[in-house]
Amino acid sequence: MMKAVLAGVFLALLAVSAVPASAATPEEVAARLARKRGYTAQQTTCYIGVFKSYARLGRRNDWLVPGGKTGNVYRNELSSRCGISR
């Protein structure tokens, strides 16, 4: 009986540890991208806020902004609020 309980606990822990955790938060990803793109401090702060509101966790456990209409709204907001156009 005890072996069965321990085996169950082991399998549960194994299943939980198999789920990958995101390596970085959306804020960290946005800050890294802003630094890489050479944004000013003010643009970086604005970019982080906009990115955070649109970012979704992708299939590969990375943060991304969807394309299509959502992507257009995101780019428009970056331009109007942050003065960023890519």
Average confidence (pLDDT) over 54-72:
95
> Which helix or strand (DSSP H or E) is residue 64 part of?
strand 63-64
d(CA 25, CA 63): 8
Structural domain boundaries in the chain: 23-82
Q: Please write the tens of the pLDDT for every residue from 6-35.
A: 444 444 444 444 445 558 999 999 999 999
Full-model pTM: 0.71
